[in-house]
Structure 1
Amino acid sequence: MRSPRQLNGSVDVLDAVVVGAGWAGLGVSYWLARKGLTHRVLERGRIGETWRTQRWDAFHMNTPNVQTIMPGDRYDGPDPQGVLTRDQFVALLEDFAGRNALPIEMDTVVSELMHENGVYRLTTSRGMLKARNVVVASGNLNCAVRPSASDALPADIYQVDASSYRSAADLPAGAVLVVGSGQSGAQIAEELAEAGRAVFLATSRVGRLPRRYRGRDVMLWLEESGFLDVRREEVIRLAGRIPPRGVLGSEHTISLQSLAAQGIVLLGRLTSVADNGSLSFADEVGPNVRFGDEASSNAKRHIDDYIDRAGIDAPAAEPDPAETVVWRKPDTAILSLDLARSGVTSVVWCTGFKGDFGYVGLPGALNAAGQPVHTDGVGALPGLYFAGLDFASTRKSGIILAIAEEAPRLVEHIVRDSRSSMT
Structure 2
Amino acid sequence: MSIASQGAVRHHSVIIIGGGQAGLSISWYLKQAGVDHLVLEKHQVGHAWRNERWDTFCLVTPNWQCNLPGYPYRGNDPFGFMKKDEIVEYLDGFVASFQPPVREGVSVNKLWREDGLWRITASDGAYSADQVVVAVGGYHIPVVPRAAERLPADIVQIHSSQYLNPQSLPEGEVLVVGTGQSGCQIAEDLHLAGRRVHLGVGDAPRVARTYRGKDVVEWLDKMKYYDLPVDKHPLGTGVREKTNHYVTGRDGGRDIDLRKFALEGMQLYGKFESLEGEVAHFGGGVKGYLDEADAVSESIKDSIDRFIDANGIEAPTEARYVPVWQPPSDTARALDLRASAISAVVWCIGFRTDFSWINEPIFDGRGYPGHERGVTAAPGLYFLGLPWQYTWGSGRFSGIDRDARYLFDHISALRAGATSSTESTPSALSQAA
TM-score, structure 2 length as denominator?
0.89
- How far 1:411 sits from its partner (Å)? 0.9
In structure 2, give the amino acid aligned to 1:245: N
Once the two structures are TM-superposed, the CA of residue 205 in structure 1 deviates from its matched residue by 0.9
Counterpart in 2 of 1:96?
A: 94
Q: How does 1:74-93 map to 2 (within 5 A)?
A: 74-93=72-91
Aligned partners of 1:52 and 1:406: how far apart in 2?
Answer: 24
Aligned mates of 2:228, 2:281 — CA distance in 1:
37
Partner SS for 2:393: coil
Equivalent position SS for 2:16: strand
1:365 positional shift: 3.2
- Superposition deviation, residue 324 in structure 1: 4.0
Out of 239-248 and 40-49, give the one that drifted further.
239-248
Quick one: which amino acid aligns to residue 267 of structure 1?
Y
Per mean C-alpha deviation after superposition, the further-off stretch among 122-131 and 59-68 is 122-131
SS, match of residue 130 in structure 1: strand
Identify the range of structure 1 (42-51 vs 231-240) with the bigger mean alpha-carbon deviation.
231-240
Cα shift at 1:419: 2.0
Letter in 2 for 1:260: A
- 1:364/1:380 contact within 8 Å kept: no
Shift of 1:422: 9.7
In structure 2, how many angstroms separate the alpha carbons of the residues matched to 1:99 and 1:237?
A: 37
Post-superposition CA distance 1:251-278 (Å, at most 9, x none): 211022122133211100111211x221
The question of 1:403 aligning with 2:400 is answered yes
Task: Tell me how far apart the structure 2 counterparts of residues 82 and 422 of structure 1 sit (CA, whole Å).
Answer: 44
Question: For residues 165-204 of structure 1, what are the structure 2 equivalents within 5 Å?
Answer: 165-204=163-202
Q: Which amino acid aligns with 2:283?
A: A
Aligned to 1:386: 383
Kindly report the root-mean-square deviation, in angstroms, between the aligned alpha carbons of the 2 structures: 2.2
Instruction: Provide the C-alpha distance between the structure 1 equivalents of 2:219 and 2:212, rounded to a whole number of angstroms.
Output: 9
The aligned residue for residue 306 of structure 1 is 307
For residue 363 of structure 2, give the secondary structure of its aligned residue in structure 1: coil
In structure 2, relative to structure 1, the CA distance for the partners of 1:240 and 1:402 (3 Å cut) is closer
Matches within 5 A, 1:86-165: 86-165=84-163
Tell me, yes or no, if structure 1 residue 69 matches structure 2 residue 71: no
| Counterpart check, 1:414 vs 2:415 | no
Match of 1:226 in 2: 224
Give distance in 2, aligned partners of 1:51 and 1:61: 11
Residue 334 of structure 1: aligned partner: 332
Distance 1:252 1:201 in 2: 20
Structure 1 window deviating more from structure 2 (246-255 vs 73-82): it is 73-82
Q: What is residue 289 of structure 1 aligned with on the other side?
A: 290
Please say which of residues 145-154 and 342-351 is displaced more in the overlay.
Answer: 145-154
The yes-or-no answer on 1:364 pairing with 2:373 is no
CA distance 1:260–1:44, shift in 2 (3 Å): same
User: What displacement does 1:241 show?
Assistant: 7.1
Structure 2 runs not aligned, ≥5 long? 1-6, 421-433
Q: Percent identity?
A: 37
- The one-letter code matched in structure 2 to 1:272 is S
Given that 2:52 and 2:161 are in contact with CA atoms closer than 8 Å, whether structure 1 keeps it comes out as yes
Count, aligned residues: 410
Decide whether the 8 Å contact of 1:122 with 1:128 is kept in 2: yes
- Please tell me the residue identity of whatever aligns with 1:194: L
- The aligned counterpart of 1:315 is 316
